Chain A
Amino acid sequence: MSWFLELWSFPFMQHALLAGAMVGLLCGYYGVFMVQRGLSFLGDGLAHAAFGGVALALLLGWTPLYVALPFTVVVSLGITALRERTHLGGDTAVGIFFAVSVALGVLFLGLKKDYSVDAFAYLFGSILGVTGFDLWAVALLLILSALLIPFTWRSLAYATFDSELARSDRVPVRLLDYLLSVLIALTVVVSVKVVGIVLVASFLVIPAATARLLSPTLYRMTLTSSLLGILSSVVGLLISYQVDVPSGSTIILSQAFIFVVAALVSGKARG
């Protein structure tokens, strides 16, 4: 306990724990819909779109978040529209935008010539260097998401189960698809600064997949995934501090460890 209090006395650690917990919660929540909609790959795709946006911001000399946000939202809407209008599967649509975004990102960085290490901070995140601004961005999205839950969760879940059945009950399925794709894009962008482009996908996929193994209902899956998101971030950060290794890896490894335990437990329960 005193060990934890000592940790908490460092402002950078406070920021890191808060940011990690909030990102874990957000990603755990939205990850449920991504995993159940077969969009696990979307997290990776949007993270790389965010890379394109960050690179553009660095080229223009603007604040990365302000460019990456609209850039990633547009890409996410594009993926959703492509999926809706063509017979392409979700992973194909993501793959196309993924490649183009990375190509644009590399192009923008190439044009800048004197590109600094800034871009690389985004690749792997800098949870121990989280600023007040980054924290606020995550907190605002968390508040917005919490406010939306009472109006959207039931319908999103219904449409995820069977969009045709939901449509027959007048659920605005298309509108929700686009809303979800915007919210996921926002989640990815605010998370990227904290956990990095390379690792954000695991925040979206691993806690939700773990929760799926442990939950008989979507309600339980949603709660479990959100809690696991928080738990693995906090545990990973504490381990990283204790052993003095990069926190990104310890967080992901914590997520993976819980997943393996869940897989063993649910495998046993099934006999």
Chain B
Amino acid sequence: MVALETDNLTVRFGDFLALDGVSFTLPESAFLALIGPNGAGKSTLIRALLGLVAPSSGTVQVLGQQPGQFPQHIGYVPQIKTFDRSFPALALELVLTGVLRGWVGRIKPEHKALALEALERVGAEKLAARAVGRLSGGELQRVYLARALVRKPKLILLDEPATGIDVIGEKDMYSLLERYRAESGATLAMITHDLDVARYHASHVAILNRKLFGFGDPQTVMNDDCLARAYGHAHHHHPKGVTL
């Protein structure tokens, strides 16, 4: 089965071309690392997979469906936490949006148990009753991860999930994600700026900078030439043999 498939996916914001003819096919249970320089369109690609931005042309298929059809199967950790910090919410309630796909009123015991279990898995059970607006960056990241996992997703889309997480926590997070993938057969797609993570954890890597510069097995795709071409573009010069 195919988890993700894009064909000639192009996204424009007005005159600005954010994604240009991106085509790839990712099999089920794969672990995709999505790399590329800042402004490369990585988050835009994830948002297109979620149905949050419409393609200007080309097609997208997610778990065999149009994007946005089955959000209950997708766990999403956004890059920028755009929520309103003055909103009265407990970490537990944010996690519960992962189950309810709506905000929670009075909390049922079985829902509470689910949320606590998810928080425990990311090592954040102590945060359950804390106000979301007062969490630190790394704490917030863990709560969002718990929110993504609690719905037992078939596909997890992570936009720079390691941001703000400490070294030990980062290791824990990767082993947690690996374990979840092994147990459930879920597909992972993760944006990262850490090339080692892409090289040593991922089954597939996509090198993006508006166009797709490489896609496939990390060992073959992540060669200096391909990386230099993709990252060189971001700085609008083309140095030979950039060390990354």
Verify A216–B97 contact, CB threshold 8 A: no
Please, which residues of chain A bring their CB within 8 A of the CB of B52? 164, 167-168
Q: Is the CB of B90 within 8 A of A158?
A: no
Question: Which of A167, A215, A220 is the most central at the interface, judged by chain B CB atoms within 10 Å of its CB?
Answer: A167
Please give the distance in Å from A28's CB to the nearest CB on chain B: 15
Q: Which of A161, A171, A215, A219 contacts B84 (CB 8 A)?
A: A161
In Å, the complex CA distance between A261 and B145 comes to: 39
- Does B89 sit at the interface, judged by CB under 8 A? yes
Cβ-defined contact, B82 with A218, below 8 A: no
Indicate with 1 or 0, residue by residue over B77-95, a CB within 8 angstroms of chain A CB atoms: 0100111101111100110
Name the B residues within 8 Å of A161 (CB-CB). Answer: 83-84, 87, 89, 94, 97, 103
Tell me the count of chain B residues lying within 8 A, CB to CB, of chain A: 28
List B contacts of A170 (CB < 8 A).
Answer: 68, 71, 101
- Tell me, rounded to whole Å, the shortest Cβ–Cβ distance linking A157 to chain B: 3
User: Which residue of chain B has its CB nearest to the CB of A163?
Assistant: B82
A190-224 contact mask (Cβ, 8 Å, vs B): 1 or 0: 00000000000000000000001001111111000
CA distance A270 to B153 in the complex (A): 38
A85 CB → nearest B CB, Å: 14
Give the secondary structure class of B's interface: loop
**With A160-B84, A165-B83, A170-B68: A216-B131 Cβ-Cβ less than 8 Å:** yes
Say whether B105 faces chain A, with CB atoms less than 8 Å apart.
Answer: yes
Query: How distant is the Cα of A99 from the Cα of B82 in the complex, in angstroms?
Result: 31
| Chain A 144-159: CB-based contact to B (< 8 A → 1; otherwise 0) | 0000000001111110
Known: A154-B100, A165-B76, A219-B104. 4 other contacts (CB 8 A): A165-B83, A168-B74, A216-B88, A217-B93
Residues in B lying within 8 Å of A, measured CB to CB? 50-52, 68, 71, 74, 76, 78, 81-84, 86-90, 93-94, 97, 100-106, 131
List the 10 closest A-B pairs by CB distance, nearest first. A154-B102, A157-B103, A162-B83, A169-B101, A158-B103, A169-B71, A219-B105, A168-B50, A154-B103, A161-B87
